[in-house]
């Protein structure tokens, strides 16, 4: 592998191999790059959330994933990577991140010479922008993080279904069930007819009566399964059901609330002349952007709170690559290696918000 020598980096030789891992609760990915910025291999693997597995099992899985990738790329197993970035679900705390890293260094000396451990939110931003930005996750649960160019981080959400998950699939599903129950009890009238929502509930959970839902809410509660109702609600929105459309509009409003909460903490350099604040959107709920959009825009347009400045411009981005690539970029940065990269190849812009153009009716 040819690599031009340079004086700007501390790691600079022909054998640079950088790795990155995207780690979720159920599935993971690993990528390896050479010093030219060429992807050598991408492999899948099992979940790597240490809160679920325990740190030792997580370390074992990480080592095996990288070994499998080395084999596929014809890299000797006893040849450590130059650096390995790990963007893992559950890695929000510095203390446990250090435990994970230290254990890998001591147990698996041939794995990598250097490590970076961060949360999956940080890896998502790193894949899209070198100097930071915002990531907004709306999958089964929801979470938001702002990363400034100076490395400071501000979070909003991520508290789980008991305390948060606003705008996520579980939140939309729970809200639909609650509205149906309240309407059927004549406790709170639903804003729209509930027939379509009740049909979706019965189909998803395989029930005929309300009482049968109780086990899904309590004794047999499974958050991921409960959140799966959201897919049928999205179909209802696609077919024009008013209540389903309202539910997604409310979710869009909640997701815009994350943005409004974090924007006051964003550095001015994150608002470039072209495109405004970059917001990386991760998770299956964003596939229903058409139905989230009305509530999202409406909330951004509402008057600022506490004399805050209004949000003038932002771009919503969808990654076209794995956040494992972002983890690789962080690995390169940790050893001061100038890895060739083109961020624009890693995402698409699916919505551009400009406050004055919306006010003038130039954006639908």
User: Residue 39 corresponds to which tokens in the numbers above?
Assistant: 């992807």
Two structure tokens written together for 23? 């780690």
3-state secondary structure at position 208: coil
**DSSP helix/strand/coil, 277:** strand
3-state helix, strand, coil in the chain (%, to 5): 45, 20, 35
What was the pLDDT predicted at 359? Answer: 55
What SS3 class is residue 200?
helix
Look up residue 158 and give its two tokens. Answer: 């991520």
* Distances 131 to 117, 148, 150, 324, 328 between C-alpha atoms, Å: 18, 7, 8, 17, 15
For 273, other C-beta atoms within 10 Å of its C-beta total 6
Which pLDDT belongs to residue 7?
39
pTM over 0.95: no
pLDDT at site 130: 83
pLDDT for the residue numbered 320 = 93
Residue 98 phi, psi (nearest 5)? -65, -35
Does an H or E element contain 336, and which?
Answer: none
Each of the 364 residues of the chain gets a pLDDT tens digit; together they read 333 334 344 445 568 999 999 988 778 999 999 999 999 999 999 888 888 889 999 999 999 999 999 999 999 999 999 999 999 888 878 888 999 999 999 999 999 999 999 888 888 899 998 888 999 999 888 889 999 998 888 999 988 889 989 999 999 999 999 999 999 999 999 999 999 999 999 999 999 999 999 999 999 998 889 999 999 999 999 999 999 999 999 999 999 999 999 999 999 888 876 789 999 999 899 999 999 999 999 999 998 877 677 888 999 999 999 889 999 999 999 999 999 988 889 999 999 999 887 754 445 5
Tell me how crowded residue 347 is: count the other CB atoms within 10 A of its CB. 21
In sequence order, the 6+-apart residues with CB closer than 8 A to the CB of 302 are none
């Amino acid at each position: 592998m040819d690599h031009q020598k340079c004086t700007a980096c501390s790691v600079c030789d022909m054998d640079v191999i950088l790795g990155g891992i995207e780690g979720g609760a159920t599935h993971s990915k690993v990528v390896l790059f050479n010093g030219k910025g060429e992807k050598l291999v991408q492999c899948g693997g099992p979940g790597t959330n240490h809160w679920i597995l325990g740190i030792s099992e997580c370390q074992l899985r990480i080592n095996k994933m990288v070994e499998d990738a080395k084999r596929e790329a014809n890299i000797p197993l006893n040849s450590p990577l130059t650096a390995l970035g790990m963007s893992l679900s559950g890695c929000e705390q510095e203390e446990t991140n250090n435990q994970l890293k230290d254990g890998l260094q001591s147990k698996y000396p041939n794995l990598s010479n250097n490590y970076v451990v961060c949360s999956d939110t940080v890896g998502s931003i790193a894949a899209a922008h070198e100097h930071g930005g915002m990531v907004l996750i709306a999958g089964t649960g929801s979470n938001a993080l702002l990363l400034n160019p100076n490395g400071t981080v501000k979070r909003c959400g991520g508290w789980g279904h008991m305390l948060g998950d606003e705008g996520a699939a579980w939140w939309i599903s729970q809200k639909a069930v609650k509205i149906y129950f309240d309407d059927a009890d004549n406790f709170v009238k639903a804003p729209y007819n509930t027939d379509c929502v009740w049909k979706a509930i019965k189909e998803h959970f395989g029930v005929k009566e309300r009482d049968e839902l109780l086990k899904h809410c309590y004794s047999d509660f499974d958050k991921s399964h409960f959140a799966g109702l959201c897919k049928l609600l999205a179909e209802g929105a696609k077919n024009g059901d008013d209540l389903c459309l309202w539910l997604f509009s409310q979710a869009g409003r909640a997701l815009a609330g994350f943005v409004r909460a974090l924007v006051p903490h964003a550095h001015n350099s994150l608002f470039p002349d072209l495109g405004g604040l970059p917001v990386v959107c991760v998770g299956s709920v964003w596939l229903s952007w058409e139905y989230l959009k009305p509530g999202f825009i409406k909330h951004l347009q509402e008057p600022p709170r506490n004399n805050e400045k209004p949000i003038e411009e932002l771009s919503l981005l969808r990654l076209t690559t794995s956040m494992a690539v972002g983890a690789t970029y962080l690995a390169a940065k940790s050893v001061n290696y100038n890895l060739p990269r083109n961020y624009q190849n890693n995402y698409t812009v699916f919505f551009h918000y400009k406050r004055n153009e919306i006010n003038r009716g130039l954006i639908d």
